[in-house]
Amino acid sequence: MAQNIVVVGAVALGPKAACRFKRLEPESQITMIDQSSIISYGGCGIPYFISGDVSEPQQLQSTSFNMLRDEKFFDDAKDIRVMTNTQAVMIDRKAKVVHTLNVIDGKNDILPYDKLVLGTGSRPKQLKIPGSDLKGIFPVSDMHTAIEIKEKISGGSVGKALIVGAGFIGLEIAEALADLWGIETTVVEITNQVFPRFISKNLAHMVQHHMEENEVSFHLSEKVLRFEGDETVQSVVTDKRTIETDLVIMAVGIEPNTGLARDAGLKISPRGGIVVNKQMQTSDPYIYAGGDCVEIENLITEKPGYFPLGSLANRQGRVIGTNLAGGNEQFDGAVGSFVVKLFEISVAGAGLTLDVALQEGFDAISAFIVQFDRAHFYPEKDLMYLELVVERETGRVLGIQGLGNTGEGMVGRINAVAELLKHKPTTRDISNLELAYSPPFSSAMDIINALGNTAENILEETNRVMEADEFIAWWLEREKDETFFLDCRGWGNAEEYVEKYPDHWKSIPQDELSERLGEVPVDKRIVLICNTGVRSYEAQVTLDQAGIRNSYNLQGGMAAVKKLGFDI
């Protein structure tokens, strides 16, 4: 029997659900409504449109075969009716109708439905502070705003820009402004690191250092108090300084857009997301919802989680489309996989960081390694930085994060582990993970395998580690003479440090250590140093065998310290 389906929201989830359903039930009628005139676009491409990498907004709204996804496209190619500039103002669940308002001409309409889909997305969080209504302050919320921002920049009136928030959108926009437009760009973040809750503090410092090398300025642990200007913003006042600017980008996060669902009496979570089951049904079995407006299960914590990602919205849309047609597909949840490009690096992750794992009640540790992304003898190679978060007692892997170049190697490793996370893998699974091998692509013992091995050694306490920021703190206090800094590399690597700091930096190559144990003090804590942490781990094993157990292996070695931007 033919059905009448109404879909509210026509950006990511809505079109996917509508098209999937129409393929399964071509005789049924489906209507999509959206309050914007621009629909079915790749929102994650907005930073690249602002930067100029994507030259026209229509490119984000086009199919891979260059057809513009507008009302005519959906009508002609998909047999789906689309009503743009149309706001859903009320859902009458008893009558099973949606009341709408045309935002152009003010006309009202009533759309009956057999089943309803809500893809109302998210909205940017607002800072309710003085001056928020000044011109020149923009959220990155939709294509209309993106077009307005780009027009202002291309008009030549922006020499300085300030971004509030150091999350994904904030840093992507920072790259766009600084790199291709040459705008003096500053980022203000209220927490003490970039990408808070998504990567560790050390990885965050590496990201920040890389962006500072590309002339983006940062002010962390700083709160914006007000915006100042006549009609247009001219400066931003924080709790520490005043910063002149011609443009402000608000990137302080997003929240589910659930007013319509709440007013209809659908169940809303304490965090504000629409509650759905694994079939993506709301508390009303005739109403489905997905995308940025819902909460789904975090497959690591097994608690409700919020994952506003376009990739998940599209997959949820397919599940909804199938179930609208009588199927029983499920969307189990997510581990929160992400990847972002920033100048010459990429940052990716899945699951929990160490800090978040501890906050969630896990007794966890992290392992961090630096290794080449290909065979060490292959001429074209680059260092990759990976961190694994592991539950101490069980060895269960809770998350992985990493930093590398902009090739596919790093995100490929993250994706390999991300798929395993919902199955509760242990370090053993990572150590023995089968990965395709050839010298132009990886090492015989891939960095992922080495990461699992390192985590196992830490859990077994055969590898007692310290982070790069801890090393820096100890080094800055070296005059207290509490620490013995032992360089386990060859003389060629150690020479400059020994000559510069002969009282504090000592050189004993790892392969000579067993014969020179008498040079190692037993009354000081010992920091073991090499390029990446491998030879220093071997040195720790040698010291342990000799009964000298007060040593700490610098995770990631000097490569990690240098990536942080610290110059010894």
181 and 218 share a domain? yes
Whole-angstrom distance, CA of residue 484 vs CA of residue 120: 59
Both 214 and 158 in one domain: the answer is yes
230 alpha-carbon distance from chain centroid: 36
Residue 568 has pLDDT above 90, yes or no: no
| pLDDT tens track for 258-285 | 999 999 999 999 999 999 999 999 999 9
Domain end: 217, 252, 287, which one?
252
Q: Note whether residue 94 is domain-resident.
A: yes
Segment 393-411 shows an average pLDDT of 96
Q: Is 54 helix (H, G, I), strand (E, B) or coil?
A: coil
Flag whether 126 is in a domain: no
320 backbone dihedrals φ, ψ, rounded to 5°: -65, -45
Find out whether 335 and 351 touch, Cβ atoms under 8 Å. Answer: yes
| 178 found inside a domain | yes
Q: Are 79 and 62 in contact (CB under 8 A)?
A: no
Residues 22, 79 contacting (CB under 8 angstroms):
yes
Quick check: is 128 in a domain? Answer: no
Contact 517, 526 (CB under 8 A): no
- At residue 161, the pLDDT reads 97
Nearest CA to 345 out of 299, 399, 409 is that of 409
pLDDT at 388: 98
Per-residue pLDDT band at 55 (split at 50, 70, 90):
confident
Task: List CB contacts of 508: < 8 A, sequence separation 6 or more.
Answer: 486, 487, 488, 516, 519, 520, 539
Burial 488-511 (b: 16+ CB within 10 A, else e): bbbeebbeebeeeeeeebbbbbbe
Q: Please give the Cα distance from 514 to 26 (Å, whole number).
A: 76
pLDDT at 134: 97
How far is the CA of 38 from the CAs of 71, 146, 436, in angstroms?
9, 12, 43
Sheet holding 86-92, edge to edge: 86-92, 97-102, 108-112
CA 384 from chain centre, in angstroms, equals 17
**141 pLDDT higher than 90:** no
What's the pLDDT tens digit per position in 465-500? 999 999 999 999 999 999 999 999 999 999 999 999
Quote the radius of gyration of the chain (alpha carbons, Å): 27
pLDDT tier for residue 150 given thresholds of 50, 70 and 90: very high
Whether 129 is covered by a domain: the verdict is no
pLDDT at 148 (0 to 100):
93
DSSP, collapsed to helix, strand or coil, labels residue 511 as helix
435/479 same-domain check? no
Which amino acid does the sequence have at 179? D
- 347 — phi, psi (to 5°)? -130, 135
Q: In what order do the strands lie in the sheet with 338-342?
A: 338-342, 345-351, 397-404, 383-391, 364-372
Is 319 found in the same domain as 432? no
| Averaged pLDDT for residues 156-171 | 96
The secondary structure of residue 445, as a DSSP letter, is S
User: For residue 368, which of 206, 236, 241 has the smallest C-alpha distance?
Assistant: 206
546 contact partners, CB below 8 Å, separation of at least 6: 514, 517
Query: Of 211, 246, 251, 209, nearest to 229 (Cα)?
Result: 246
Residue 63 pLDDT greater than 90, yes or no: no
| Final residue in a domain of this structure, among 299, 324, 349 | 324
Are 317 and 277 within one domain? Answer: yes
Do 469 and 543 belong together in one domain? yes
| 132 falls within a domain | no
Residue 38 tokens, joined: 């621009």
How many residues can be counted in the chain? 568
The two tokens of residue 144 are 């209309």
Whether residue 177 lies inside any domain: the answer is yes
Intra-chain end-to-end CA distance of the chain, in Å: 74
Q: Do 244 and 158 belong to one domain?
A: yes
List, in sequence order, every beta strand (DSSP E) within 502-564: 505-507, 525-529, 551-554
Nearest by Cα to 313 from 554, 22, 7: 7
Tell me, what CATH number does 386's domain have? Answer: 3.50.50.60
In the chain, the number of structural domains is 4
Mean of per-residue pLDDT scores for the chain: 96
- pLDDT digits 0-9 by tens, 199-257: 999 999 999 999 999 999 999 999 999 999 999 999 999 999 999 999 999 999 999 99
- Report the DSSP beta bridge partners of residue 465: 553
| Residue where a domain stops, chosen among 324, 348, 370 | 324
Q: In what order do the strands lie in the sheet with 160-164?
A: 137-139, 247-250, 160-164, 184-188, 216-219
Tokens of 420: 């395993």
State the residue for tokens 């984000």. 60
- 508: domain CATH number? 3.40.250.10
pLDDT, tens digit (0-9, with 9 covering 90-100), for 14-39: 999 999 999 999 999 999 999 999 99
Nearest in space to 465 (alpha carbons), one of 376, 553, 404: 553
Together in a domain, 115 and 259: yes
Quick check: 232 and 191 in contact, CB under 8 A?
no
pLDDT of residue 65: 83
Tell me, what amino acid is at 245? T
Q: Is 111 contained in some domain?
A: yes
Which whole number is the average pLDDT over 164-168? 96
**358-390 pLDDT, tens digit each:** 999 999 999 999 999 998 999 999 999 999 999
Structural domain that includes position 506: 465-563
Read off the pLDDT of each residue in 180-196 and give the average, rounded to a whole number. Answer: 96
Residue 29 and residue 85 in one domain? yes
- Distance from C-alpha of 298 to C-alpha of 307, rounded to nearest angstrom: 9
Are 152 and 211 in a shared domain? Answer: yes
Are 163 and 200 contained in the same domain? yes
Considering the domain architecture, whether residues 93 and 153 belong to the same structural domain is answered as no
Q: Is the torsion defined by CA of 547, 552, 555, 556 positive or negative? A: negative
Q: Cα separations (Å) of 225 from 44, 51, 207, 485? A: 29, 28, 26, 44
